Amino acid sequence: PIGYSQARIRPWTCLAAMATLNSTGIAPSRVRVSRDGARIPTRVQSASAGRKRVVAVRASGSDKPKEVTLLDYGVGNVRSVRNAIKYLGYTVREVEKPSDIASADRLVFPGVGSFGAAMDILKAKGFADPLKDYLQEGKPFLGVCLGMQLLFEGSEESEGVEGLGVVPGVVGGFDTTLGLPVPHMGWSGVSQKQPSAFMQHVQNGQRVYFVHSYRVEETEANKDWTLSTTNYGGEFISAIQKGDVMATQFHPEKSGTVGLQLFKSFLDGEKLESDSGLKDGLGFPLNSNGAVELSKRVIACLDVRANDNGDLVVTKGDQYDVREKEGENDVRNLGKPVELCSR
């Protein structure tokens, strides 16, 4: 339910996934089947940690219909988000007109694409003002990736384009002089800065999945919004929250069991447990800055194909369409396979 086809899973893909998760110190996810045939993912902490802890994520038993509104403005594939929501027992109500935003009880906004293009589409469809009103009213909201960045005042990615301006600050690019690959792609740890019902089941240092080229730095003006930070060539904001408005730079829908738990906490409207403070780390290795390092990962597969010049390139498709939407309509080129693997 979190982004992978159930039709066919190759053994080497599973082994690669286990190697990736094992590098974090957490055993790979397992699945148990309940009496009613439902598949329930669990995660077992490694024996080296001194004890076993099983986390099961499942929708609560209730006959009351549960619905969440999804703002998909038509750019990119948000199927993984839909699958995660449905897996947790909720039905998805799509935003089709501006009034659907105002009437939403809970709104999920998985942003995809560039900052400027996203704002243009939101304005063209009449979604921008109702969304800003919804946020300013403090109604339950969860933004993901670009869905977090658009809450800020603007972005260096699209200079001159105003964001929703709910959160102070401007989205900036990573410092490429440090030699780190951009986009930041992989499993990095989060450091929680304030107690939160949304993240009360997440331990400091827990790794979640990122893929982004721009980030927001914490300032005095947005410090009260900062829920967690992550280090990648410097500290940046990886999650924000104020009241019932929250958003993540990482992708919960691609972060395994911990991501499903985050969705569940938001969808169920969990309250902060009285004894829930900031959780201790899980013994993840720290770098010289005291931050959890980017996980060493096994690349399970690369989508490699020839471009129009006959060169083999790593590409990424949108519904199997691997060509750029603008310019010369070239095959999308993310780099050379051997160079990417050597990272």
| Residue-wise pLDDT tens digits, 219-261 | 999 999 999 999 999 999 999 999 999 999 999 999 999 999 9
How confident is the model over 271-321, as pLDDT tens digits? 987 655 555 544 445 455 555 567 666 655 678 888 888 888 888 766 668
Site of tokens 């919960």: 252
Partners of 156 in the beta sheet?
none
Using CA atoms, how far apart are residues 145 and 8, in angstroms rounded to an integer?
28
Mean pLDDT of 331-343: 80
List residues with catalytic annotation: 145, 251, 253
Instruction: State pLDDT tens for residues 66-110.
Output: 999 999 987 766 889 999 999 999 999 999 999 999 999 999 999
What is residue 329's predicted lDDT score, i.e. its pLDDT? Answer: 85
**Is pLDDT at 44 greater than 80 in this prediction?**
no
pTM as predicted = 0.69
Q: How far apart are CA 242 and CA 252, in angstroms?
A: 19
> Distance (Å, rounded) from C-alpha 205 to C-alpha 339?
29
Cβ–Cβ under 8 Å, residues 27 and 44: yes
Residue 169: per-residue pLDDT: 97
Task: Please state the three-class secondary structure of the chain as a single string.
Answer: CCCCCCCCCCHHHHHHHHHHHHCCCECCCEEEECCCCCEEEEEEECHHHCCCCEEECCCCCCCCCCEEEECCCCCCCCHHHHHHHHHCCCEEEECCCHHHHHCCCCEEEEECCCHHHHHHHHHHCCCHHHHHHHHHCCCCEEEEEHHHHCCCCEEHHHCCCCCCCCCCCEEEECCHHHCCCCCEEEEEECEECCCCCCCCCCCCCCEEEEEECEECCCCCCCHHHEEEEEECCCEEEEEEEECCEEEECCCHHHCHHHHHHHHHHHHCCCCCCCCCCCCCCCCCCECCCCCECCCCCCCCCCCEEECCCCCEEECCCECCECECCCCCCCECCCCCHHHHHHC
Q: What is the spatial distance between Cα 120 and Cα 128, in angstroms, rounded to a whole number?
A: 9
- What is the per-residue pLDDT for 63? 53
Bond prior to 98 in cis (omega within 30° of 0): no
